[in-house]
Amino acid sequence: MLASKLDLQMTLRRLPANDSIEKVEDSRFNLFTKQLWKGIYEEVSTEQSGYTVVLVPSYFDFVKLKGFFKRKNARVAMISEYTPKKEAQRLRSLYEEKDVPVIMVTERALVFEKIRIRFARNLVLYTIPESSDIIDAVEGMMRLEAWDKILKHRLRLLKTQATAKTNTLSQDELVNECKKVV
């Protein structure tokens, strides 16, 4: 299996079916906050490992999640494209020193080199990244040789499926497709 070959755990979650495209954002937020966040945060907090990056594509998603994290009193460093450079460096230092186990970053903050994240062990993609430039930034965080190929291939598949409005590949088919790339 690809994940074991690269010492990489990949978990894919499918959003529940929605009546309309307008409900997709709320559905994604509810899935993240009600099902995924508790597991992510408990795992990071109990292992004392830290180094989890939550990558959000837009500032709107960032603001929505920021409000959620504040209500939960979660120890999360939050950096967007609008965070002043010195504050971004301070928050990154807290993350790198494991004072804060999770860092949430917008794509634009990484792409426009507002901040460079190191030591990432876990990467949570809130949704499909909007920019193909994010691949270089993520590759630097994760330090995986095949990361670029896998992420490019996975994004191409996801975007193709999103365009066709169908999710036709099973997890086994996806792993087989990724093996072809590696």
Same domain, 85 and 168: no
Residue 118 covered by a domain: yes
Q: Which domain holds residue 180?
A: 144-182
Same domain, 151 and 116: no
Residue 73 covered by a domain: yes
Cα separation of 78 and 81, whole Å? 10
CB 171 within 8 A of CB 139: no
Same domain, 104 and 57: yes
Full-model pTM: 0.71
Residue 175 covered by a domain: yes
Pair of tokens at residue 161: 């499926």
Residue 137 covered by a domain: no
Residue 1 covered by a domain: no
Same domain, 38 and 95: yes
Residue 26 covered by a domain: no
Residue 134 covered by a domain: no
One digit per residue, the tens of pLDDT, for the chain of length 182 reads 344 444 556 666 777 777 777 788 888 898 889 888 888 777 665 555 668 889 998 999 999 999 999 999 999 999 999 999 999 999 999 998 888 989 999 988 888 876 788 777 788 888 877 777 776 677 666 655 555 556 656 666 666 655 554 455 555 665 665 555 54
Residue 181 covered by a domain: yes
Length of the chain, in residues:
182
Continuous segment of H or E residues that includes residue 77: strand 76-79
pLDDT at residue 155 in the model: 63
